[in-house]
Amino acid sequence: MSQKGSDKFKYGLLKAIDVSGFKVFDPVVRLIFAEEPRKQIQDIAKYMLLPIIFCLVCFFMWDIIGPRHKTKSGEVPSPGKVLEAAKDATRFKQREGEKEAAFVAEGKDREALLADSKKKLTEFEEKTAELQELSAAAAKSGQNKIDASLNPIKEKYDTLKAKYKTAQTERKEAISTLADQFANKQASKDELIAAMEEDSLQKESEKEELKVLSQQLDDIRANPPKEIKEAQLAANKAADEVQHYKKVIDILTTGNREVKKNALLEKAEKAEAALTVATTGAEAQKQAKAVVSNKDKAGKADEQKFPKAATIYWQTYRSLATVFVGFLIAVLVAVPVGIMCGLNRIVMACLTPIISIFRPVSPVVWLLIFQIIVGAFFPDPDKHWLFQTMNESKLLPGFIHNLQVNPAMIFSACTVAMCALWPALVNTALGVSSIDKDHLNVAKVLRLGFWSRLFKIIIPASLPLVFAGLRISLGVGWMVLIAAEALSSSDGLGKYVWDEYQNGSSQSFANIILACFVVGIIGFFLDRIMIMLQKLVSFDDGSATA
Amino acid sequence: MKTHKILRTIIGLGMLGATSVSAEQLDVEKDELKFGFIKLTDCAPIVIAKEKGFFEAEGLQVEVIAQPNWKQLLDNVITGELDGAHMLSGQPIAATIGFGTKSHIVTPYTLDLNGNGITVSNAIWEQMQENDPTLDTDTPKHPIPATSLKPIVDAAKEDGKKLPMGMVFPVSTHNYEIRYWLAAANIHPGMYTSTDLKGFTNGDIELSTTPPPQMPATLESGKNVAYCVGEPWNQQAVAKGIGVPVTTNYDIWKNNPEKVFGVTKAWADENPNTLIAVTKALIKAGKWLDATDASGKLINREEACRILSQPNYVGADYDVIKNSMTGFFYFQKTDKREMPDFNVFFKYHATYPHYSDGVWFLTQMRRWGQITEPKPASWYKEIAEKVYLPEVYKKAAAMLIEEGSITKDEIPAADYDGYKAPTKDFIDGIEYDGKKPIEYLNSHKIGNKDDPSLSAK
C-alpha cells in the first residue's frame, strides 16, 4: 500500500513538473524515488549540470570581457557591478519607504524614529568625512600618478610644438623671400611651387606628429586611475545617506502628518481663543474663518499621502499590471474574432486584408495613434471618472490605487493589446478551422445547436492551438510594453530604462543591464505560466513546447 | 574640517530659519500637485522646493515627475496630466501665440538665468584652432566668437555639405542662443518659413532638434558637430572627452533668462491661491539656492547637487553636476574656470517675470521667421503681458516679505514696470531695449527685418 502511495505521489509530482514546464527536474524526482539511478544521474549531468556550467562560463566571460570594452560612457559593467546596482535600487526603495514611514509615524513611534535617524545621521556623517578624506588622498596620489606619466609627454609635446612653430615661420619667410625673388625674376616658377609643396608636406607631417602626442595626452587624461573614481563614488554613497537621513529628520520634525495636523489644530484653537475676545465684526469674521479653514485642513491632513518616488519595484508591478490589462483586451477581442474567422470562410476572407496590413505595424506607431485617439477621451484626466474610480474609489483595494492609473498607462495597455492581438487571432482561427471533420460530423449527427456545438466541440478541440497563440501573444505584449512605456513615459520598466539612459551617471549602464535581467526573468515566468495553461488544456504531451 | 562644521551650522541655522516661520497658509484650491521637469540642473528650484519642504510649508504635497522631452512635457501640462512644469522660456510664449501646439500658458516665475553652453566636437575645435592660432592654448581667451568656425562652415558648403548642429527645441533659449552666436559671426543659421518648420531655409548650416541627454551621443557619432544645451550635458562632453565647450550663454548675453515655471491659463484661473503658494515656495527655493556666506561662497549648492544627483531627479553623477553648479566650469580637462554666475537662481531679481524677457524671445521668433507676419510693437507688449504674471509674483513676494523670508531689496521696486533697463551685454554689443522691439530686430544683419513704421503702432 505504502509502495503504491509513494508511486502515486511520484507520478503526481512528475505530472506537476511536466505541466509547469520544468521537465528538466524530472530526473531529480526520479532519482529521489530511486528509479534507475544510473540513468537519472546521467540525465542530470547532461541536462542540468552542463547547462548550469555553460551559464557560469557565460557569466565568467562577461566578467572578463565586459570591463575591457571601454566606451565613452564608461566600461561595460561586470556582473558584480550589476549586482551592486540591484542593491542600490533596493536601497533606494528602502529610503522611499523610510521617508513614507517618517511621514505617517505618530506619537512614540515618531520619537523613536527621530532618535534612530539622528543616530544614523551622525554615524554616516562620520563615515562620509572619513571617506571624503580617503577620496581626497586618492585623488592626490592619483593626480601625482597622472602627472608622472603626463609631464614627460607634455614636455616633449611643448618643445616639439615650439620647434615646429619656429620652423614654420622660417619656411614662411623663406617662401616670401623666394616669392620676392620670383617677382624680381631671380627665381623660377617651379622653384617657388616646389617650396610651397615642400612646406605644406612638412606642415602635414609635423601636425601628424603633434597629433600623436596630443592623443597620448588625451588618453592619459581620459583614463585616470580607477582608485580616484572608486574612492569618490564610495564617499558619494555615504554622503547620499547623510542627505537621506537629513531629509528623514526633516520630515519627522516638520513634514510629518501628525505634526502638521497638531500645528493646524493649535492654530485653530488660537483663532478660536482670539474669536472669543474679538471686538470688531471684521476681526471676528477673520478669526472664524481661520478656525474653519485650519480645522478643515487638519481634517484633510489625515488623508494626505506621501508622494513616493518611483522605484524599480513599483515600476515592475505597474508594468505587470499594464501588460495584464493589455493582454486581457487582446484575448477578449482575438478569441471571438478568431473563432468567427475559423468557422466562416467569408469572414476570414473579409478580415484577411485587415489582419495582413495591420499586423506588421510597429508598436511605436500604434502608441502614437492611441495617444491621439484614446487621449481624446480624457480631456481632463484628473476629473475623468475612470481615473477617479481607479485611483480614489473606496470600493477598490489599495493595491489598485497604488497603480496610479493615468492616461499614459492606458495608451501603453492599448498598444500592448493591439500588438498582442494578432498571434492569438491567427492561431485561434487556425485552431478552429483545423478541427477534425469527424468531430463536426458527430455534431451534425447529434443535431447539436450552434451554441452547444461551439462550447462542446469547437472550443475544446481548438484550445491547444488557441493557447499556443496566447502564449506568443503574451510574449509579444511584454516585449512591446517596454518600448511603449519608454516612449509614452508611463511609469514602468520601460520608463526606468529610458530614465536611466537619460541620467547618464556612472551607474546608469549597470542599471540598464539590471532592467534587462528583470525584464527577461519576468518574461520567462510569464511564458512558463502560459505553457502550464496550455498543457492543462492539451491532450498531447506538449513536447514541442520546451 | 573646521570650516565644514561652521558651514554645517550655517546650513542648520538656515534650515531653522526656513522652518520656524510658520505664517498663515493660503487656502489652496488643490493640495496634491504634479509637476514635470526635464533632467537638467536648472530644474533645481522645483526639486529643492520639494526636498527642502518649501512646498509642504505652503500646505502642498508635490510630486515631481521626469518627462522624456519638451514636447511631451508641454502636452502633459495642456492635457492636465501635470499641474505645472519646468519650461523653456520660449515655450509659454510660443504656445500662447500658436507656434507649435497652441494653448494659453502663463508663467509667474523665472527659474534661473544663464546655464547653457555651446560645445563643438574635437575635430571642429582643432580646425578652429588652426584658423585662429590664439585658441591653440590650454586656456584660450573668452568669449570665443564663431569667426574661426566660419571658414570651416564655408569649406563644408563648398563640398555641398551643411554642417549639422544640435539644439534642444525650436523655441528653446538654446536655439536662439546658438543662432545668435553664429549670426554674430556672419554664419547664417537658416530661417523658418511657413512651409519650412525645421528652420533650414538659406542656412549655412543645419540646426536640428536633439533631446538634451542625447547630445553627447550625437556629437560622438558625428550626427552633430556642435550643439547648444544646458547642464550637465556640456560638462559631460568634457568628462567623456568628446567635445570642447567654446562659450557659455553668459558670454552671449549676460544674465539671460533661461527656464520658467509654466501652467495653463485655465489652471491659473481655477487655482489662483495655489499658484501664489507655489510661487512662494519657488521664491524660497531660489533664495536658498543662491544663499552665500560672508565671503560670497555659495553655501547650499553642494547639498543641491547631492539632491539633484538622485536617480529620480537629474540623476547624473554628483561630481558632474557639481562642476557647473558650484560656480566653476570646465572648458577642457585642463581649463577649469570660475564662473560664479553660470547658474543664477535668485540674484539680480532673476526670478521676477520680466516683460522685457518675453519681448526678447518674441523678437527672436520674428527674427528667425517662426513668427511669419510682421507685427507692430504694441503686439509684442500685449503678448508679453498675456504670458507673464508679475501680479502673482508680487503677491507671493509681498507675503514672503511679511513673513520675513525675503527682504524688500531682493525683489524689484513696487513701481517697476517689468522692462529691464536697455543693455548692450551681448556678444556683438547690439543694444536691446524691450520697449523697442522693431528697432532691435532691424539692428541685426542676419534675419527678418520689419518696416520701421511698425514701431509706433
What is the ipTM metric for this complex? 0.79
pLDDT value of residue A542 = 44
Model confidence at A72, pLDDT cuts 50, 70, 90, reads low
Q: Do A375 and B62 touch (CB under 8 A)?
A: no
| Nearest-by-Cβ selection for B311 from A92, A375, A408 | A92
**A498 vs B: CB within 8 A:** yes
Per-residue confidence band for A540, with pLDDT thresholds at 50, 70 and 90:
low
Question: Which residues pair with residue B264 across a beta bridge?
Answer: B105
Confidence class of residue A403 from pLDDT cuts 50, 70 and 90? confident
The better pLDDT of the pair A482, A20 is held by A482
Once rounded to an integer, what is the mean pLDDT over residues A205-210? 87
DSSP state of B41: G
B314 and A500 within 8 Å at the Cβ level: the answer is: no
C-beta atoms of A380 and B80 within 8 A: yes
**Cβ of A72 and B220 within 8 Å?**
yes
As a whole number of angstroms, the distance between CA A284 and CA A272 comes to 9
**Nearest Cα to B283, choosing from B187, B411, B421, B160?**
B411
pLDDT exceeds 90 at position B148: yes
B241–A406: do the CB atoms touch at under 8 Å?
A: no
Q: For B241, which of A222, A297, A408 is closest by C-beta distance?
A: A222
* Residues B234, B304 within the same domain: no
Cell digits of residue B260: 520658467
Q: Are residues B262 and B406 in the same domain?
A: yes
Q: Specify the DSSP class assigned to residue B88.
A: E
Spatial strand order of the sheet with B116-121 comes to: B205-209, B163-167, B226-230, B116-121, B243-248
Pairing of strands B328-332, B335-338: antiparallel
- Look at A502 and B39 and tell me if their CB atoms are within 8 Å: yes
Say yes or no: A135 contacts chain B, CB-CB below 8 A. no
Contact between A470 and A537 under an 8 Å Cβ cutoff? The reply is no
Asked if the peptide bond before residue B143 counts as cis, ω within 30 degrees of 0, the response is yes
Say if the Cβ atoms of B240 and A72 lie within 8 Å. yes
Asked whether residue B146 is assigned to any structural domain, the reply reads yes
β strands within A15-133, DSSP E: 70-71, 74-75
The band of B423, judged by pLDDT with boundaries at 50, 70 and 90, is: very high
Tens of pLDDT, residue by residue over B292-312, are 998 888 899 999 999 999 999
Of B414, B287, B434, B291, residue with least CA distance to B350: B287
Q: Please indicate, yes or no, whether residues B129 and B218 belong to a single structural domain of this protein.
A: yes
Evaluate if residue A9 carries a pLDDT over 60. yes
Return the sign of the alpha-carbon dihedral for residues A313, A319, A320, A322: positive
pLDDT band at A315 (very low <50, low <70, confident <90, very high): very high
- Of B286, B264, B288, B259, the C-alpha closest to B275 is B264
For residue B381, the distance in angstroms to the closest alpha carbon of chain A comes to: 32
In three-state secondary structure terms, B33 is strand
Per this entry, what is the length of chain A? 546
- The pLDDT of residue B283 is 96
- Identify the top-confidence range among B23-37, B310-324, B374-388: B374-388
State which H helix or E strand residue A263 sits in: helix A257-276
Q: Which pLDDT band holds residue B1 (cuts at 50, 70, 90)? A: very low
Tell me, what's the pLDDT at A394? 84
A10 CA: distance to closest CA in chain B (Å): 50
- Please check the confidence at residue A219 and state whether its pLDDT lies above 50: yes
User: Which are the contacts of B436, defined by CB distance < 8 A and separation ≥ 6?
Assistant: B377, B455
Domain shared by B123 and B153, yes or no? yes
Task: Judge: B31–A300 Cβ closer than 8 Å, yes or no.
Answer: yes
Residues in a beta bridge with B86: B261
Average pLDDT for A514-532: 93
**Does the pLDDT at position B181 exceed 60?**
yes
Q: Which of B22, B81, B220 sits opposite A381 (nearest CB)?
A: B81
Looking at mean pLDDT, say which of A455-459, B23-27, B170-174 comes out highest.
B170-174
Chain A neighbors of B311, CB-CB under 8 A: 92, 499-500, 503, 505, 511
* B48 in a structural domain: yes
Contacts of B79 in chain A (CB under 8 A): 375, 378-381, 407
Q: Is the pLDDT of residue A71 over 80?
A: no
**Cβ of residue A408 closer than 8 Å to a chain B Cβ:** yes
Q: Which residues of A touch B1 (CB under 8 A)?
A: 129
Q: Which residues of B fall within a CB distance of 8 Å from A300? A: 31
What backbone phi and psi angles, to 5 degrees, belong to B270?
Answer: -75, -30
**Alpha carbons B183 and B202: distance in angstroms, whole number:** 13
Q: Report chain A residues whose CB lies below 8 A from the CB of B236.
A: 504
Contact B95, B101 (CB under 8 A): yes
Percent of chain B whose predicted confidence (pLDDT) is above 70: 95
Report the share of chain B in percent with pLDDT over 90. Answer: 64
Measured between alpha carbons, how far is residue B323 from residues A238, B71, B418 in Å?
Answer: 20, 28, 33
> Are A473 and A421 within 8 A, CB to CB?
yes
The packing angle between helices A2-19 and A508-537, to 10°, is 120
Cβ pair A243:B306 closer than 8 A: yes
Chain A, window 91-120: residues with a beta carbon less than 8 angstroms from a chain B beta carbon: 92
Which of A260, A382, A504 is the closest to B80 by Cβ?
A: A382
Task: Considering only the beta carbons, identify the residue of B213, B306, B318 that sits closest to A504.
Answer: B213
Which of B422, B445, B442 minimizes the C-alpha distance to B454? B442
User: What is the helix (H) or strand (E) element at residue B208, kind and residue range?
Assistant: strand B205-209
Do B208 and B136 lie in one domain? The reply is yes
Q: Which of A46, A241, A263 is nearest to A126 (CA)?
A: A241
Question: How close, in Å, is residue A525 to chain B by CA atoms?
Answer: 28
A24-31 mean pLDDT: 87
For residue B366, tell me if it sits in a domain. Answer: yes
The answer to whether the peptide bond before residue B232 is cis (omega within 30 degrees of 0) is: yes
Whether residue A79 lies within 8 A of chain B, CB to CB, comes out as no
Cα B144 to chain centroid distance, Å, stands at: 20
Asked if B68 lies within 8 A of A487 by C-beta distance, the reply is yes
Distances in whole angstroms, Cα of residue A40 to Cα of each of A4, A11, A225, A419: 21, 16, 52, 43
Residue A296's pLDDT band (cuts 50, 70, 90): confident
Rounded distance, CA B357 to CA B345, Å?
A: 16
Q: Reply yes or no on whether the pLDDT at B116 is more than 60.
A: yes
- In terms of Cβ atoms closer than 10 Å to its own Cβ (0-12, 13-18, 19+), residue A139 is middle
Q: Which of B6, B48, B97, B181 is nearest to B371 (CA)?
A: B97
Which chain A positions have a beta carbon within 8 Å of B127's beta carbon? none
- Write the pLDDT tens digit of every residue in A380-400: 777 888 888 888 888 888 888
Confidence class of residue B392 from pLDDT cuts 50, 70 and 90? very high
Confidence at residue B14, expressed as pLDDT on a 0 to 100 scale: 44
Asked if B241 and A250 come within 8 Å (Cβ–Cβ), the reply is no
pLDDT tens-digit series, residues A348-384: 999 999 999 999 999 999 999 998 899 888 877 778 8
Q: Are B86 and B59 within one domain?
A: yes
Together in a domain, B376 and B309? yes
| Domain that residue B389 falls in | 2-113+256-325+343-410
Last residue of a domain, one of B252, B269, B299: B252
SS3 A477: helix
A79–chain B nearest CA distance, Å: 21
Q: What is the mean pLDDT of residues A524-543?
A: 78
Helices (H) and strands (E) in chain A, counts: 21, 2
Residue B447: inside a domain:
no
Report the chain A residue with the minimal C-alpha distance to residue B130: A207
Q: Where are the domains of chain A?
A: 2-68, 107-235, 312-537
For the segment B211-244, what is each residue's pLDDT rounded down to a tens digit?
Answer: 887 888 899 888 999 999 998 889 888 888 889 9
Task: Give the pLDDT mean for B119-138.
Answer: 90
The pLDDT-based confidence of A412 (bands split at 50, 70, 90) is: very high
End-to-end CA separation in angstroms for chain A: 35
pLDDT at residue B264 in the model = 95
- Cα of A13 to nearest chain B Cα, Å: 46
Average pLDDT over residues B396-425: 92
Q: How many CB atoms lie within 10 A of CB A30?
A: 19
Q: Which residues contact A292 (CB under 8 A, 6 or more apart)?
A: none
CA–CA separation, A439 and B373 (whole Å): 75
Q: What distance in Å separates the CA atoms of residue A511 and residue A205, rounded to the nearest whole number? A: 45
Helix (H/G/I), strand (E/B), else coil: B61: strand
Chain A residues near residue B310 by CB distance under 8 angstroms: 240, 309
Instruction: Establish how many alpha carbons lie within 13 A of residue B153's alpha carbon, considering only the half-sphere containing its beta carbon.
Output: 21
Rounded Cα distance between B214 and B207, Å, is 15
Burial classification of residue B424, based on how many CB atoms lie within 10 Å of its CB (0-12 exposed, 13-18 middle, 19 or more buried): exposed
CB contact under 8 A, B317 and A506: yes
Residue with cell 490605487: A401
CATH topology of domain A312-537: MetI-like fold (1.10.3720)
Q: Say yes or no: A500 contacts chain B, CB-CB below 8 A.
A: yes
Q: How far is B448 from chain A (nearest CA, A)?
A: 35
List helix spans (H) across B52-186. Answer: 54-57, 70-79, 90-97, 122-131, 150-158, 173-184
pLDDT at B4: 54
pLDDT at A120 over 90: yes
pLDDT-derived band at B9, boundaries 50, 70, 90: very low
At residue B186, φ and ψ (nearest 5 deg) are: 70, 20
Say whether pLDDT at A332 is over 80.
yes
Contact criterion met (CB < 8 Å) for A310 and B22: no
Q: What is the pTM of this model?
A: 0.85
Q: Could you count the other beta carbons within 10 Å of the beta carbon of residue A225?
A: 16
Q: How many domains does chain B have?
A: 2
Coil, strand or helix at A473: helix
Q: What DSSP string describes A497-522?
A: HHHHHHH--TTHHHHHHHHHHHHHHH
Residue B55 near residue B275, CB atoms below 8 Å: no
Asked, for residue B441, whether it belongs to a domain, the answer is: no
Q: Are residues B306 and B243 in the same domain?
A: no
Closest partner CB to B241 (pick from A218, A247, A505):
A218
Nearest CA of chain B to the CA of A304: how many Å?
8
Q: What is the pLDDT of residue A267?
A: 87
Give A-chain residues touching B56 at CB under 8 angstroms. 254-255, 260
* A51 at B interface, C-beta within 8 A: no
Residue B23: pLDDT band by 50, 70, 90 thresholds?
low
- On whether residue B452 sits in a domain, the answer given is no
Of the candidates B325, B338, B322, B142, the one whose C-alpha atom is nearest the C-alpha of residue B244 is: B142
Record: contact A236-B319, CB cut-off 8 A? yes
Secondary element (H or E) of residue A16: helix A2-19
Q: What angle do CA A146, A147, A149 make, to 5 degrees?
A: 70
The answer to whether residue A544 scores a pLDDT higher than 80 is no
Chains A and B: how many Cβ contacts under 8 Å?
A: 117
Q: ∠ CA A455-A461-A463 to the nearest 5 degrees?
A: 90
On the CB side of A291, CA atoms within 13 Å amount to: 14
The confidence score (pLDDT) of residue B17 equals 41
Rounded average pLDDT over B328-334: 88
Give the largest CA-CA distance in chain B. Answer: 68
Q: In CATH, what number is assigned to the domain containing residue B173?
A: 3.40.190.10
Q: Average pLDDT in the A512-537 region?
A: 91
The span from the CA of A256 to the CA of A418, in Å, is 45
Task: State yes or no: pLDDT of A546 exceeds 50.
Answer: no
Q: Does the distance separating the beta carbons of B4 and A129 come in below 8 Å?
A: yes
Contact A268, A291 (CB under 8 A): yes
Sign for the pseudo-dihedral over CA of B140, B145, B150, B153? positive
Question: Looking at residue A473, what is its pLDDT?
Answer: 95
Q: Do B61 and A503 touch (CB under 8 A)?
A: no
B215 and B279 assigned to the same domain: no
| Structural contact between residues A425 and A355, judged by C-beta atoms closer than 8 angstroms | yes
